Structure 1
Amino acid sequence: MSKESIRGIAIRTIGLEADAIRGLGALLSDDFERVVTALLHLKGRLVISGVGKSALIAQKIVATLNSTGTPSIFLHAADAIHGDLGMVQPDDMVMLISKSGHSPEIKWLVPLIKNFGNTLIGMVGNRDSFLAAQSDLVLDTTVDQEACPNNLAPTTSTTAQLVMGDAIAVCLMELRGFTGEDFAKFHPGGTLGKKLYLRVSDLYVQNERPSVQPDSTLKEVILEISHKRLGVTAVLGPEGLLAGVITDGDLRRMLEKTVSLEGILARDIMTGQPKTVGPDALAVEALDRMRTYDISQLIVTDEDGRYLGVLQLHDLVREGLI
């Protein structure tokens, strides 16, 4: 098979699934709004269940809802009828996901849920199915055909289920005014979490705090940069206010231009008005600032311009932000 044929199959598959997703909007009914409203005021959890590929989609929707502020748990339909149904509590809502709505496990599970008295949401690809008929609220994820050449393997249908779950999650996020700070509470680990909560104050305090005075000698400047091992030193004026900064690069450029080193002071070398960052800024914001100005250090200052320390590009690399 040629590369063009392989690419053509992929394009056809993507097109089929994209068309199905575009058609979902027309399938949204008042029940969708009722589902979102009920979840917004839910005292318990949303229990989501399914079998086969639908069970995998259920797990992803649970993960998305939990990470965006809607308590949810996954219950495999087969396990539910063998003891795990006990995890369903009186204040919970239950969502069953199924393409056909006629799966044996679903037919077993629906009467039990109804007997418990929990609100039952059916996310189903067949409006004429057992599940649709028995559900209190129905989310229609009907698709015309699977992307599978035999129209059998769950492909387009599971994509539709996934997108319907995302639509619910995003609606709830916007109705709750869910912010980046809220998101960070549920994602404290990994790079994503660090981008959302890690601040400059968490990093610069681990570094040395090199500083010299404007009238410090060249030798004193070199020794301070060398001893503190940050490749930079702040130049401080009265009351600890930042007057300027001297980097390794500043020293090299000075040596290229100067014949005699006698009498050279910090004020003669320093760069006035250096790039700074506040301690409360997000670390990722500091990274953007470094990239914008193509620098590897930022001087940390308070609101009054007093010198606090140095943030290095290496600090951000160490935290996995790059």
Structure 2
Amino acid sequence: MKLVKKNIQSTARNVLLAESEAIRLAIDGIDDQFEQIVDTILQTSGRVVVTGIGKSAIIGQKIVATLNSTGTPALYMHAADAIHGDLGMIQSNDVVICISKSGNTPEIKVLVPLLKRTGIPLIALVSQTNSYLSVQADFVLKAYAEHEADPLNLVPTTSTTVALALGDALAVSLLNARGFTSQDFARFHPGGSLGKKLYLKVSDIYPHHEIPTVSPGATIHEVILEMTSKRLGATAVADENGQLVGIITDGDLRRMLKRFNSLQLDHLRACDIMTPSPLCINPDEYATHALKIMQERSITQLIVALDNQIKGFIHLHDLLKEGLV
């Protein structure tokens, strides 16, 4: 095959333009029937069974993944496997979405009558709205694609993009209708940085650290030893009742050296160089909120406190380690 490298950028732009235009046209297909489809799925006590063949099957798998992660139970059934035993996956309280560009493939023509016999709602996600699948379906999601993005009009590109976009529109519409929250999303995504952003709290992190603390009357030597031994670049300053009165950071030490000469250092105490009423965070706050505060204030640590009682420290390195940054 001869390699032709001309017009690469132009080709790429034309593909994106063709697909974006097809999605724009699909907006006109969002009508009362789309709303009926959402209502039908909401009212079912079963699952959304998504089926298709070829590239449509791959799109179907992605739609199933999106539905499951946003609160709508779903499963994937390959159309060819369905007519060889997998129809047993379907229960009487399910809803089926059948994806096909033409709506006239042999597998679809065999499968559709079998699906109709179950009596469950059949939704066609199809490009050709006058196809066999469209006529037989109870509802039609119009994924019209006049032309594929490749010059031969053969490769499923525009049609699969529109089908995928409509699947997203359906999943998000169901999400909104269910009142799905970020906490619900976190339950389905406990792993990875995405899950951690949604469920990881300050209380999950700070207990791993020692709590550097000095009294207001501590000497500078004691302050430096405490900060060095606990390795957080800061120490809390607490009174005899354990109440937080200030914080001393590496920056406070550097500013101290600029302000005082060596003779004065021996007479300084923690209360002389601390930052009073330091910024704190509640243990029950989300770790992402701690990150936001650090970024906005250009700081690297926060004291974790409850009712002005020191519970611990949370450091920017903790959030880096958890993959939140």
TM superposition score category, shorter chain reference: over 0.9
1:2 Cα offset (Å): 6.6
Residue type at the aligned position of 1:111: P
1:221 Cα offset (Å): 1.0
Instruction: Provide the secondary structure at the position in 1 that maps to 2:51.
Output: strand
Larger deviation, residues 169-178 vs 45-54: 169-178
1:277 Cα offset (Å): 1.3
Which residue in the other structure is 1:310 paired with?
Answer: 313
Q: Which of 20, 26, 31 lines up with 2:22 in the alignment?
A: 20
TM-score normalized with structure 1 length:
0.96
Question: How far apart, in 1, do the equivalents of 2:241 and 2:131 lie?
Answer: 77
The 5 Å alignment of 1:1-322 reads 5-259=7-261, 260=263, 261-302=265-306, 304-322=307-325
Residue type at the aligned position of 1:26: D
Instruction: Provide the secondary structure at the position in 1 that maps to 2:241.
Output: helix
Question: How far apart, in 1, do the equivalents of 2:251 and 2:31 lie?
Answer: 64
1:252 Cα offset (Å): 2.6
Structure 2 vs 1, CA of residues 50 and 2 (structure 1 numbering), >3 Å: closer, same or farther? Answer: closer
Structure 2 vs 1, CA of residues 2 and 50 (structure 1 numbering), >3 Å: closer, same or farther? Answer: closer
Question: How far apart, in 2, do the equivalents of 1:220 and 1:147 lie?
Answer: 71
1:214 Cα offset (Å): 0.5
Question: How far apart, in 2, do the equivalents of 1:70 and 1:253 lie?
Answer: 57
Instruction: Provide the secondary structure at the position in 2 that maps to 1:188.
Output: coil
Residue type at the aligned position of 1:23: L
Question: How far apart, in 2, do the equivalents of 1:54 and 1:176 lie?
Answer: 27
1:242 Cα offset (Å): 1.4
Question: Are the equivalent residues in 1 in contact too, given 2:215–2:240 (CA < 8 A)?
Answer: no
1:264 Cα offset (Å): 1.0
1:283 Cα offset (Å): 0.6
| Aligned residue pairs, count | 320
Seq. identity, %: 53
TM-score normalized with structure 2 length:
0.95
Which residues of structure 2 form unaligned runs of 5+?
none
Residue type at the aligned position of 2:301: Q
1:152 Cα offset (Å): 1.3
Which residues of structure 1 form unaligned runs of 5+?
none
State the 4+ residue runs in structure 1 displaced beyond 6 angstroms: none
Question: How far apart, in 2, do the equivalents of 1:181 and 1:205 lie?
Answer: 23
Question: How far apart, in 1, do the equivalents of 2:322 and 2:30 lie?
Answer: 43
Listed one character per residue, the Cα deviations across residues 8-36 of structure 1 (whole Å, up to 9, x for unaligned) are 11111111111111111212233211110
